[in-house]
Structure 1
Amino acid sequence: MKRFLIYITLSFALLLSIGFSLSLGSMNIPLKETYLVLLKFIGVSGNPAVNPLNEGIIMMIRMPRVLMGIMVGGALGISGAAIQGIFRNPLAEPGLIGISSGASFVAVLIIAFETLLFSGLSEVLGHYLLAFGAFAGAGIAALLVYHLSKTDGQANVITMLLVGIAINAMAGALTGLISYLANEQQLRSITFWMLGSLGGATWQNVSCLIPFVMIPMILLPFFSKGLNAFAIGEKQAEMIGLNPGLTKSMVVLLCTMAVGASVSFSGIIGFVGLLVPHLVRLIGGVDHKFVLPASALLGALVLTFSDLVARLVIQPIELPIGVVTALIGTPVFLYILIRDKKKLTH
């Protein structure tokens, strides 16, 4: 009953956040009109009496941004919970195994050297080149980490963690080198992309993102039993009939798909994958049957709210969303660490 109430509360809060995100901005739209447009969008009402200008702003500008925020936040939240389950480490996150650093390295490479190295691909992919490159970089980094961590055909979690740290360091160094060589305009683009933004959301981007995010979000909860078994150790999980190698492989693959696609469209957004699963466990327990879907819901809520703050706090300038998530997440995370430091050190 408690977990059902948590689901209801998170869903209601997300709905409120969606309403305010669609309503507020450089031009404020009454909440009543916003929800009438939203009801029309989901097919509940036919043709509400709404100002056509307001409807156009909601449908063409704000709705794609909100939907992207929901998908990216949900993907980061559920992937963070799954990665923490695999590593049996509450401080783990998708970036730990090189997903974010691989994506950022290739994205920065494209921003700085698009005309020199990627002119042919640019003609084929157009404005999707950056998204495609970031997604490919995330996949290559995760694949490299996974294969280098294999021992006797099985991926070792500790080795995977160490290889991930090495890949992150290498990608970070190369990203820094490219940033140093970039001109002023390129450097501004690189900085803004690495701090994250939903400002480039369009219906095309949303439609491209849907399969890459929805497939992992649907499939990852099916691994909740395996992730629960991982909490008592891989050997014990194997003794009760689970295949730890298959579970690790599938979870890493699905998380790479979700986070790589999200990062490719929104840039690097920190703290969501790390903090959200902590908060979910705090309010509802450690069972992954609850933690995974609840993390997706809370991740979507956190990111839509953060995007709203990023747009409103210093209008008409828009803050990078990664700055907002870090400013919100750091105090909360420090509070959790201080409160539970005895548990974490024993």
Structure 2
Amino acid sequence: MFVNSRWPLLLPSVVLFFLVSMVVLSVSVGPMAISFVDSIKALLVDWVNWQSPVSTQHAIVVSHIRLPRTLLCLSIGAILGLTGAVMQGVFRNPLADPGIMGVSSGAALGAGLGIVIFADVMIDLPNWLQLSTVSFFAFTFALAVCLLVYKLGTSSQGSSVVVMLLAGVAISAIAGAGMGMLTYIADDQSLRDLSLWQMGSMAGSNWLSITLSSITLVFLLVVFMSSAQALNILLLGDAEAVHLGIDIVRLKRRLIFCCAIGLGITVSIAGMIGFIGLIIPHLVRLLVGPNHQRVLPLSAMLGALLLLLADILARTVMAPSELPVGIITALLGSPFFIIVLLQQRSKLGI
């Protein structure tokens, strides 16, 4: 209802304002009681060598725990929102999600192998390759699943979205069986690590993971924004896109592969965080319309905002205990998914 008004021009500024506000709030809240003023002082002491009477403990908590966690939330949430918008555009379906191809399930299986079986094998790898044992296996399996799904869904006649979806369902079932087996053979510590990872968390943030996710985000923004106009044409249908000069096979291959890279990175770093890629793009299209030149950057911004809000809730709702952020996003996203599903059902007259 806002598409023909000034709202599309005003929305980025509004989102940016709330994003900055959430960043400030994020470095100020947590299990340890640190006032807003002391949080700002701690950042100034650490980053600009500003002299202020703030305790060393507070400075360490704010600068080395809360700030990295906040920055990781921004990059991971932006990637999830961005890839969700692209997947919905490629599949021309508001119910599409980056995990629809089974990539997230494959990443989960890889992470499970890293946690339960190969933890000792990966210890001697160099730091540039060893983001962590879990990260390496999750990312590798995500890429492998992406290539497999695309190979199964592509032939000399072109690519079939339906076959890709069915392949994703089959791979998710296989990965689920593998995860069940790993859960069965895991020892107590590995089982706890595996369970916490499956629920998603920002607790393991560090500067290496922030750097990797930030580079991935910039790469995806460049690739996806350069394909925004082609995505707009693709919304008309495959046949119309071909007549307008779009190589849809190459376009879908590039976009799906890049989405898998983004999803593999997020899963490997933060675990399983669902529904952001479903909720955010749908809301953005309701507010500003289907133009991907607006949808993509706004989806990235709102994805970062939603994950940051979910992480703040995860840290504060049951403080000093911490909820996995994946539980918060699932609680927020599940009702929204049901609403969208009912809307699609009514459109189809079912």
**TM-score, normalised on structure 2?**
0.91
Q: Deviations over 1:95-150 (max 9, x none)?
A: 111210110001111111125xxx44332155612111111111000110001111
Does structure 2 retain, via aligned residues, the 8 Å contact 1:99–1:260? Answer: yes
Does 2:163 match 1:159?
Answer: yes
1:300 to 304, 315, 332: 304
Q: Deviations over 1:71-99 (max 9, x none)?
A: 11000001011011111111111111121
Does 2:20 match 1:20?
Answer: no
Partner in structure 2 of residue 74 of structure 1: 78
Query: After alignment, is 14-23 or 154-163 more displaced?
Result: 154-163
Partner in structure 2 of residue 124 of structure 1: 125
The aligned amino acid for 1:162 is L
Aligned ranges 1:103-252 → 2 under 5 Å: 103-114=107-118, 119-125=120-126, 128-152=132-156, 154-252=158-256
The aligned amino acid for 1:23 is S
Q: For residue 170 of structure 1, report the CA deviation from its aligned partner.
A: 1.1
Partner in structure 1 of residue 50 of structure 2: 47
Q: For residue 64 of structure 1, report the CA deviation from its aligned partner.
A: 0.8
The aligned amino acid for 1:277 is P
Alpha-carbon distance between aligned partners in 2 of 1:305 and 1:186, rounded to the nearest angstrom: 29
Q: For residue 194 of structure 1, report the CA deviation from its aligned partner.
A: 0.6
- SS at the partner of 1:91? coil
Q: For residue 159 of structure 1, report the CA deviation from its aligned partner.
A: 1.3
Q: For residue 245 of structure 1, report the CA deviation from its aligned partner.
A: 1.2
CA gap of 1:50–1:259, structure 2 versus 1, over 3 A, is farther
Does structure 1 retain, via aligned residues, the 8 Å contact 2:45–2:52? Answer: no
- SS at the partner of 1:198? coil
Query: After alignment, is 323-332 or 82-91 more displaced?
Result: 323-332
The aligned amino acid for 1:28 is A
Alpha-carbon distance between aligned partners in 1 of 2:36 and 2:81, rounded to the nearest angstrom: 28
Alpha-carbon distance between aligned partners in 2 of 1:106 and 1:217, rounded to the nearest angstrom: 26
Query: After alignment, is 29-38 or 318-327 more displaced?
Result: 29-38
- SS at the partner of 2:124? helix
Alpha-carbon distance between aligned partners in 2 of 1:329 and 1:156, rounded to the nearest angstrom: 28
Does structure 2 retain, via aligned residues, the 8 Å contact 1:103–1:133? Answer: yes
Equivalent residue pairs, number: 341
- SS at the partner of 1:254? helix
Alpha-carbon distance between aligned partners in 2 of 1:162 and 1:28, rounded to the nearest angstrom: 49
Q: Deviations over 1:142-177 (max 9, x none)?
A: 110001111216322121111111111111111112
Does structure 2 retain, via aligned residues, the 8 Å contact 1:306–1:324? Answer: yes
Q: For residue 246 of structure 1, report the CA deviation from its aligned partner.
A: 1.5
- SS at the partner of 1:170? helix
Q: Percent identity?
A: 35
CA gap of 1:140–1:10, structure 2 versus 1, over 3 A, is same
Gaps of 5+ in 1: none
Query: After alignment, is 211-220 or 320-329 more displaced?
Result: 211-220
Does 2:272 match 1:268?
Answer: yes
The aligned amino acid for 2:32 is M
CA gap of 1:325–1:262, structure 2 versus 1, over 3 A, is same
Alpha-carbon distance between aligned partners in 1 of 2:111 and 2:335, rounded to the nearest angstrom: 30
Does structure 2 retain, via aligned residues, the 8 Å contact 1:37–1:48? Answer: no
Gaps of 5+ in 2: 1-5
Does structure 2 retain, via aligned residues, the 8 Å contact 1:10–1:298? Answer: yes
Partner in structure 2 of residue 310 of structure 1: 314
Alpha-carbon distance between aligned partners in 1 of 2:79 and 2:192, rounded to the nearest angstrom: 27
Partner in structure 1 of residue 287 of structure 2: 283
C-alpha RMSD of the superposition: 2.2
- Structure with the larger helix share: 1
Q: Deviations over 1:166-200 (max 9, x none)?
A: 11111111111211222222211111101100000
Aligned ranges 1:81-120 → 2 under 5 Å: 81-114=85-118, 119-120=120-121
Q: For residue 338 of structure 1, report the CA deviation from its aligned partner.
A: 4.0
Does structure 1 retain, via aligned residues, the 8 Å contact 2:199–2:327? Answer: yes
The aligned amino acid for 1:170 is I
- SS at the partner of 1:329? helix
Alpha-carbon distance between aligned partners in 1 of 2:257 and 2:22, rounded to the nearest angstrom: 31
